[in-house]
Chains A and B, each alone.
Chain A
Amino acid sequence: MADLLFLIPLLPLTGFLINGLLLGRLPKWMISAVACGSVGLSFLLSAAAFFELRSLAPEARQLTQTLFTWISVDQLEVNFGFLLDPLSAVMILVVSGVGFLIHVYSVGYMGHDKGYGRYFAYLNLFMFAMLTLVLADNFLLLFVGWEGVGLCSYLLIGFWYEKQSATDAGKKAFIVNRIGDFGFLIGMFVIFWSVGSLDFVTVSRMAPEVFIAGGSLITAACLLLFLGAVGKSAQIPLYVWLPDAMEGPTPVSALIHAATMVTAGVYMLARTNALFVLAPDALFVVAVIGGLTAIFAATIGLAQNDIKRVLAYSTVSQLGYMFLACGVAAFTAGIFHLMTHAFFKALLFLGAGSVIHAMSGKQDMRDMGGLKKYLPTTFRTMVIATLAIAGIPLFSGFFSKDEILWKAYSSTMHGGWYFWLLGVAGAGLTAFYMFRLVFLTFYGEERMDAETKHHIHESPRSMTVPLVILAVLSVIGGYVGMPQLFGATNYFEEWLHPVMTAGSHEIAPHALASGGYSLVEEWTLMLASVALVLFAIYLANYYYRRNVGAAGRLAQRLSGIKTLLVNKYYVDEIYGAVVVRPLVYFSLFLWKIFDVIVIDGTLNGIAVLWRDLSDEFRYTQSGQLRNYATIFSIGVVILLAYFMFG
């Protein structure tokens, strides 16, 4: 199996090449077959790899495949190699599994689009890049995947390139990500400079010897890596691109901007956990940023009316949870939430896509309502996903979110009631805005116009089947990581244990342990968060279903806050004024003043000077031989005089 590892990313690449090179020349069914087939095979191989890995002893669960030496310069030796360990096994399963379902869904959703072949080519290219990212055995190859998914994100956000807003959003995503990538690159340089290798296994093993725990070097390296994660995973302050990325087709939002690509930052942190546990200060920053993002994005989500934008802010907020988990050194909890989130958030997006499909492309929830009876399957699956993300017990989101909240409270690495409070407040807000979405969309009076209403229909089977599968996963996905509190074994934590402690034996046990707390405390916190969530649902029910007028009156009373939230705290405007506008003016200065006047002026000035001078002096070229001879003779006489008497 280890020899076939390379096929997992290679198959989607083949699909991309076939669909990309034969753009639009294949019939539609063949495009779909190539695209879905390649990813489906990847998923089967991933599953095979997972089971093979499981059959090994826990400490031997590390398969590598080196295809060739990519770069070899002096000390720098970078292989094009793949690493299969419990962490990447989870990731490839999630990526190729959810990816496959979304490919199938896209067959129905994009069926009428004229860019059908192009869409699937991009989607396959994305799968290739993402699988390379999670399978890479060194930083540089991970970075290749990292940039590859960024490129595909850009291409797919701007997929409908006739729309100005879509191309703008694509550009914004790409440019904002550049800032993070810059940090990632520098962090990578620091690591290579100190360790002398970019290989994950080597770096993790050497890190405790090379770096002084808590030293400034390792803190700087981790913060720089985290800057990369902040860009890719849309955290404060670089989250602004993700809500705009909703301009892309909805399955793209589900795949790239919810389930997989945006979680790459979390994966990267988990992958380099051996470094981060050496830098508690950096971890504290991670936890603070994650916690703040979780609650900040959730508040914005309260007031959005575009169904996809609510989900986008929800994604930002949920990613914040994952970083909060990583920040308290509970990397396993972060990855666990990454997995369950991939299921229910992909489902939410695909459900939203199904709603948008039924609404003839309209996304404003104020024009929806009462869709429950028209879209029964979509409705049921969406409700399951909403229960999961809200953290209702027995749904997957409950287990992962509770794990994070408990770790945020109890971890010896920065754990504390304030992080728990941030998380639990975010959970309440999440439950509120998600149920607001459900009530506005599926309940109440039908607010759409007659034309749209006439066209409402349940989506085709290619779309509903992935919804149902994801709904099942959203329910059962959490049972692999049940808390010990319930007397169950946490298989997920056990599975990831070898990766999360590799190379950090000295520090990890204290950091990861959550001992010293009583069961009563854990039960209390869990019940408190569940109670808050239920209360939030009750409120959403009251304001958006039972008593529709009350929401308006409340909004009127809090109009200041509402304006602030609707305008997303004016962050885009602030960035525009503080960063973008000065940059534009500076560029204009460089262009109009510095380039045109100073540089071009100097060059042209020199040319003009000599041209004008020669204009005057050319008259000395009379063409008269005797003139030349005379001047020549005079010159000789002068020179002679100079040598004889001078």
Chain B
Amino acid sequence: MVPVSAYLTLAVVLFGIGTVGVLVTRNMIVLFMSIELMLNAANLAIMAFSRAFSLVDGHVIVFLVLTIAAAEAAVGLALIVMVYRNRETVNIDRFNLMKW
């Protein structure tokens, strides 16, 4: 049996990779993918706890999160497509109109 700590370690590593990805990338698509990674790291942690305590609640929440993530991905990608059509770029640093 794999101990909970292993799952959690993996979740933390995945979350860290996702965070760093968000902070360093300029490409919106990659940024978006990194956010998904963070989301799934959280899912993994919830699953691990759920299994460890033999509770079904965690599974349910994860399903919910997955569903919402799918919907959110669709909306997010659509936004990125629209942004690209307007500005011909997906470089996040070029979108800095809302400053001082």
A→B interface (CB under 8 Å) = 618-619, 621-626, 629-630, 633
A contact residues around B98 at 8 Å (CB): 621, 623
A contact residues around B53 at 8 Å (CB): none
Q: A624-B93, A625-B92, A626-B92 are in contact. Are A619 and B100 (CB under 8 A)?
A: yes
Main secondary structure of the interface of A (DSSP, over half): helix
Asked if B47 lies at the interface with its beta carbon under 8 angstroms from chain A, I say: no
User: A626 contacts B93, CB within 8 Å?
Assistant: yes
Asked if B52 lies at the interface with its beta carbon under 8 angstroms from chain A, I say: no
User: B95 contacts A625, CB within 8 Å?
Assistant: yes
Partner of B99, one of A622, A629, A630: A622
User: B23 contacts A618, CB within 8 Å?
Assistant: no
28 examples of A-B residue contacts, CB within 8 angstroms: A618-B100, A619-B100, A621-B98, A621-B99, A621-B100, A622-B96, A622-B100, A623-B95, A623-B97, A623-B98, A623-B99, A623-B100, A624-B93, A624-B96, A624-B99, A625-B92, A625-B96, A626-B22, A626-B23, A626-B24, A626-B26, A626-B92, A626-B93, A629-B22, A629-B23, A630-B23, A633-B19, A633-B23
Partner of A623, one of B19, B24, B26, B96: B96
Counting from the closest, the 8 A-B pairs by CB-CB distance are A623-B99, A623-B96, A618-B100, A621-B100, A623-B98, A625-B92, A621-B99, A630-B23
Q: Mark interface residues in B1-39 (1 if CB within 8 Å of A CB, else 0).
A: 000000000000000000100111010000000000000
Q: Which residue of A lies closest to B28 (CB)?
A: A625
Shortest distance from the beta carbon of A590 to any chain B beta carbon, whole Å? 41
Shortest distance from the beta carbon of B84 to any chain A beta carbon, whole Å? 16
Shortest distance from the beta carbon of B7 to any chain A beta carbon, whole Å? 19
A contact residues around B100 at 8 Å (CB): 618-619, 621-623
B contact residues around A633 at 8 Å (CB): 19, 23
Q: Which residue of B lies closest to A633 (CB)?
A: B19
B→A interface (CB under 8 Å) = 19, 22-24, 26, 92-93, 95-100
Cα separation A372 to B98 with both chains bound (whole Å): 94
A contact residues around B22 at 8 Å (CB): 626, 629
Cα separation A186 to B77 with both chains bound (whole Å): 79
B contact residues around A626 at 8 Å (CB): 22-24, 26, 92-93
Cα separation A624 to B25 with both chains bound (whole Å): 12
B contact residues around A618 at 8 Å (CB): 100
Q: Which residue of B lies closest to A625 (CB)?
A: B92
A contact residues around B23 at 8 Å (CB): 626, 629-630, 633
A contact residues around B93 at 8 Å (CB): 624, 626
Shortest distance from the beta carbon of A635 to any chain B beta carbon, whole Å? 13
A contact residues around B95 at 8 Å (CB): 623, 625
Cα separation A27 to B92 with both chains bound (whole Å): 84
Cα separation A621 to B99 with both chains bound (whole Å): 5
Q: Which residue of A lies closest to B95 (CB)?
A: A625
Cα separation A621 to B23 with both chains bound (whole Å): 17
Which of B22, B26, B92, B100 is most buried by chain A, counting CB atoms within 10 A of its CB? B100
Cα separation A630 to B99 with both chains bound (whole Å): 16
A contact residues around B19 at 8 Å (CB): 633
Cα separation A625 to B24 with both chains bound (whole Å): 11
Cα separation A626 to B92 with both chains bound (whole Å): 8
Cα separation A629 to B19 with both chains bound (whole Å): 9
Cα separation A625 to B96 with both chains bound (whole Å): 8
Shortest distance from the beta carbon of B99 to any chain A beta carbon, whole Å? 3
Cα separation A633 to B19 with both chains bound (whole Å): 8
B contact residues around A625 at 8 Å (CB): 92, 95-96
